Amino acid sequence: MDTTTQQQKFCDRQFTAEEISIIREVVQTCKGLSRFELAHTVCELLDWKRPTGKLKARECRDLLERLENQGEIKLPKKKETKSKGSKQRIVISETVQPLSVLSGRVDAFLPLRVELVENKEQRRLFSELMERYHYLGYKMPYGARLQYLVYVDQPRCEVVGCVQFSSPAWWIKVRDDWIGWDDERRKLRLQHVVNNSRFLVLARIENLASKMLSDVMRHLPGDWLKQYAVEPWLVETMVDQQRFHGGCYRAANFLVLGQTTGRGRMDRSHQRQGGEIKTVLVYPLVKHAKRKLVEGR
């Protein structure tokens, strides 16, 4: 059956041709994700939830397997995954480092060392630091993600920051207006946008935050391309204006686009209201990023 033009009904939900196309795009562009992660990503994009608000991840995995059996998509091989979703209880070990006592100008601590989180020990350290020191705590994002630890090596080796990138928001009015997207173009090229979803600075070193962002941003394009086979063209972030000014992003040459409308970041139905208002900033990773996101070249 040609799912590019035909609808499908599954678990009492009618999936439109556009939604089937979105599922195909997610599977094709996020090749580094497991079936578990793909199901959660699709659920968020399509707002497929239970009455309790939880994602219908199990049903979505069944739908993905049905589409694979029809020859419409190619899923990664099955592997063991945890039965619970992204919400994890982080047990903070006694050895997790305290907040840094380092101070002074960032020039005295250069060069910073940026490490991509790849192994179990790095993941443990990243999640513990986020859980202990970030005001939102730690929550594993659904979908694509990369995490970084930032170190100084003098006067001693020490983690001074954590940075996380993940899948982009489905709809942000000021971002989409700035790019010049309509719904069809956004659907086609959304995966070229990466969301800076967590940023944590652990030392009171002057200009450390903006330097961290600049250094990590140089690693991001190659690492994202290697992991997900998608070239990122734009980084977006949203800053809670009640808590932060976002000066480090401005110093790192992010562009301020405006404010969110208070809807959820994955609100495809244009119905959610009452969320926190945030400042939206973006950083083009390539020349002519807006044109590429509109025209694909």
| Residue 89 belongs to some domain of the structure | no
Query: Tens-digit pLDDT profile for the chain (297 aa)?
Result: 344 447 888 877 889 988 999 999 889 888 778 888 899 989 988 989 876 677 888 889 889 988 988 888 999 887 654 443 344 554 445 556 677 889 999 999 999 999 999 999 999 999 999 999 998 888 877 678 899 999 999 999 999 999 999 989 888 999 999 999 998 899 889 989 999 999 999 999 999 999 999 999 999 999 999 988 889 999 999 998 778 878 999 999 999 999 997 755 545 545 545 567 899 999 999 999 999 999 988
- To the nearest whole percent, how much of the chain has pLDDT over 70? 86
Tokens representing residue 152 in the block: 């100084």
| Residue 95 belongs to some domain of the structure | no
Do 263 and 170 share a structural domain?
A: yes
Do 266 and 183 share a structural domain?
A: yes
Do 238 and 290 share a structural domain?
A: yes
| Residue 247 belongs to some domain of the structure | yes
Do 230 and 133 share a structural domain?
A: yes
Do 48 and 113 share a structural domain?
A: no
User: From the CA atom positions of the chain, what is the Rg in Å?
Assistant: 20
Do 141 and 19 share a structural domain?
A: no
Tokens representing residue 101 in the block: 């006592």
* Contact present, 198 and 149 (Cβ < 8 Å): no
Structural domain of residue 12, as residue ranges? 8-69
Do 108 and 58 share a structural domain?
A: no
Do 144 and 22 share a structural domain?
A: no
| Residue 97 belongs to some domain of the structure | no
Listed residues 17, 45, 69: the one ending a domain: 69
| Residue 244 belongs to some domain of the structure | yes
CA distance 10 to 24: 16
* CATH code for the domain in which residue 170 is found: 3.40.630.30
| Residue 188 belongs to some domain of the structure | yes
Do 56 and 132 share a structural domain?
A: no
CA dihedral 121, 123, 129, 132 (to 10 degrees): -110
Query: DSSP readout, the chain?
Result: --TTTS-EEETTEEE-HHHHHHHHHHHHH-TTS-HHHHHHHHHHHHT-B-TTS-B-HHHHHHHHHHHHHTTS--PPPP----SS-S-------TTSPPPP--EEEGGGGPSPEEEE--SHHHHHHHHHHHHHHSTT---PPSSSEEEEEEEE-SSS-EEEEEEEEEPPPS--HHHHHHHT--HHHHHHHGGGEEEEEEEEE-SEEETHHHHHHHHHHHHHHHHHHHHHS----EEEEEEETTT---HHHHHTTPEEEEE--SS-TT-SSS----PPPEEEEEEESSTTHHHHHHH--
| Residue 252 belongs to some domain of the structure | yes
| Residue 128 belongs to some domain of the structure | yes
Do 174 and 225 share a structural domain?
A: yes
Nearest to 280 by CA among 184, 196, 183: 196
Give the model's pLDDT for residue 275: 63
CA distance 162 to 200: 5
Half-sphere CA count of 295, side-chain side, radius 13 A: 6
Do 275 and 145 share a structural domain?
A: yes
In tens, the pLDDT along 8-32 reads 888 778 899 889 999 998 898 887 7
Tokens representing residue 239 in the block: 């800053």
CA dihedral 218, 223, 224, 229 (to 10 degrees): 130
Q: How far is CA 43 from CA 23, 46, 54, 196, 229, in A?
A: 10, 5, 10, 21, 22
Do 167 and 271 share a structural domain?
A: yes
Number of domains in the chain: 2
